[in-house]
């Protein structure tokens, strides 16, 4: 059934009603007598979870409404490559496939490393990953043809000033330059299909490959890009060094971390986190946290008694925390989980963190290992890089505070 604006409006209306019910119940809990608090706490928790469910449904409907299928542009080489790859998947026929890969993708391919997915399937998998992996939605994603990608950055800025039209130009100070390079890793998947499935003309091989690989890759990518240690995998943004100093005093490449003032996170901590990010970065900034943390911040009020979380009640309007959108990433740590990593991040992730895809997902057909099933051993190169350490801020709860909460 096709999605339209009425479906979104209905969900938004229920979201509004549930939020009003949530506020009223939570206010009763806060003001109620001891005997009532336990019962009301359960109701608040249920309503809190329902708000998350409705918020996610609304976002999914909005994404479905604006989804547009992209044509392949009528490129003959791409079409021929796709047809040849389908023969390879179904029958193991590699005739002319290597040559078609080179023409369609215009890149060199390894002689013994399997075959590159056709451009359309490659793109479909990356699109599916973008739908599944929050980090891909929020950060800058760059496709490259070589792992030797580098970026030169100036850590301190170049001295400048005003001069008259005919005055001498004073020499500027020497900039402090650093070379940034991605941390790379290779992710693999190995979906299996029977030959009977592959012989069935009605079996959609492309959909099978896309859905199976997206499922296998998604969770591992989300984990690596959030908390990965950089060992044979991308380095997650939470694994970079931190410091509590402000931007002008902190070493380049370290993220600023703010520590909650009390045993639990408060509305004041959220405001402090927001304004630790300088104004040029705030346009497009978002919060990133997991579901447990989202339930916690939804209970917070400002000094005027207003809830700082507000639902998005119009199509295209996301729910917000103190006026900024929220990206829910389940790989972010729980509050007080003892991992030592911050449970809440705030920043302009597009400017702060880059994700790299090496062009060409590769497939090796294996009809021998698990007969009568045929395996499709698939590898994909993914990299990551902290691009601007001033663009992302972290909010932590100390181990001592967590024990008290």
The domain segmentation of the chain, as residue ranges, is 5-65
Nearest to 141 by CA among 393, 398, 329, 385: 385
Contacts 24+ apart (CB under 8 A), 101-109: 103/77, 104/75, 104/77, 104/78, 104/80, 105/81, 105/359, 105/360, 107/145, 107/359, 107/360, 109/360
Residue 86: pLDDT band (50, 70, 90) is: confident
The DSSP element (H or E) to which 15 belongs, if any, is helix 5-31
| Cα separation, 359 vs 373, whole angstroms | 28
Tokens found for residue 133: 């992996």
Percentage helix, strand, coil for the chain under 3-state DSSP, each rounded to 5: 40, 20, 40
pTM of the model: 0.79
Q: Which of 56-70, 127-141, 189-203, 211-225 has the lowest mean pLDDT?
A: 56-70
Tell me, what's the pLDDT at 402?
42
Residues 258-314: tens digit of each pLDDT? 999 887 899 999 999 999 999 999 999 999 999 999 999 999 999 899 999 998 777
Residue 23 predicted with pLDDT over 50: yes
Tell me, what's the pLDDT at 57?
79
Residue 106 CB burial class (10 angstroms; 0-12, 13-18, ≥19): exposed
Tell me, what's the pLDDT at 206?
83
Residue 401 predicted with pLDDT over 70: no
Nearest to 182 by CA among 121, 137, 236, 133: 236
CB 381 within 8 A of CB 224: no
Residue 68: pLDDT band (50, 70, 90) is: very low
Nearest to 380 by CA among 121, 92, 198: 121
Residue 60 predicted with pLDDT over 80: no
Q: Which of 112-126, 174-188, 316-330, 381-395 has the lowest mean pLDDT?
A: 112-126
Calculate what percentage of the chain has a pLDDT beyond 70.
83
Residue 159 predicted with pLDDT over 60: no
Contacts 24+ apart (CB under 8 A), 308-315: 308/267, 308/270, 310/19, 311/12, 311/15, 311/16, 311/19, 311/51, 311/55, 312/12, 312/15, 312/55, 312/58, 313/12, 313/13, 313/15, 313/16, 314/12, 315/5, 315/8, 315/9, 315/12, 315/62, 315/65
Residue 404 predicted with pLDDT over 50: no
Residue 190 predicted with pLDDT over 80: yes
Residue 67: pLDDT band (50, 70, 90) is: low
Tell me, what's the pLDDT at 39?
62
Residue 92 predicted with pLDDT over 80: yes
Mean residue pLDDT across the chain: 84
Tell me, what's the pLDDT at 162?
78
Tell me, what's the pLDDT at 95?
82
């Amino acid at each position: 059934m096709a999605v339209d604006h009425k479906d979104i409006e209905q969900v938004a209306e229920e979201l509004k009603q549930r939020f009003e019910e949530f506020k009223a119940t939570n206010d009763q809990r806060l003001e109620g007598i001891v005997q009532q608090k336990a019962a009301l706490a359960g109701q608040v928790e249920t309503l809190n979870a329902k708000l998350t469910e409705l918020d996610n449904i609304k976002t999914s409907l909005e994404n479905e409404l604006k989804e547009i299928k992209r044509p392949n542009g009528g490129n003959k080489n791409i079409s021929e490559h796709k047809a040849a790859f389908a023969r390879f998947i179904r029958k193991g026929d590699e005739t002319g496939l290597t040559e078609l890969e080179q023409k369609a993708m215009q890149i060199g391919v390894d002689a013994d490393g399997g075959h590159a997915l056709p451009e359309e399937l490659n793109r479909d998998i990356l699109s599916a990953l973008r739908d599944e992996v929050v980090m891909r939605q929020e950060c800058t994603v760059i496709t490259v043809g070589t792992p030797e990608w580098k970026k030169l950055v100036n850590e301190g800025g170049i001295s400048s000033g005003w001069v008259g039209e005919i005055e001498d130009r004073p020499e500027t100070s020497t900039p402090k330059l650093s070379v940034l390079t991605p941390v790379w890793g290779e992710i693999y998947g190995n979906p299996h299909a029977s030959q009977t499935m592959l012989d069935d003309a009605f079996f959609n091989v492309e959909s099978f490959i896309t859905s199976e690989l997206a499922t296998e890759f998604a969770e591992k990518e989300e984990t690596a890009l959030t908390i990965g240690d950089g060992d044979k995998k991308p380095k997650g943004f939470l694994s970079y060094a931190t410091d509590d100093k402000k931007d002008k005093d902190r070493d380049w490449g370290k993220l600023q971390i703010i520590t909650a003032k009390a045993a639990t996170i408060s509305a004041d901590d959220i405001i402090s986190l927001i304004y630790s990010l300088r104004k040029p970065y705030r346009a497009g900034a978002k919060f990133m946290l997991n579901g447990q943390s989202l339930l916690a911040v939804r209970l917070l009020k400002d000094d005027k008694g207003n809830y700082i979380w507000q639902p998005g009640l119009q199509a295209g309007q996301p729910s917000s925390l103190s006026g900024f959108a929220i990206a829910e990433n389940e790989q972010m740590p729980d509050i007080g989980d003892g991992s030592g990593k911050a449970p809440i991040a705030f920043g302009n992730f597009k400017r702060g963190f880059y994700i790299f895809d090496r062009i060409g997902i590769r497939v090796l057909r294996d009809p021998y290992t698990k007969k009568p099933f045929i395996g499709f051993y698939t590898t994909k190169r993914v990299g990551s890089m902290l691009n601007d350490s001033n663009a992302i801020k972290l909010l932590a709860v100390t181990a001592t505070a967590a024990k008290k909460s």
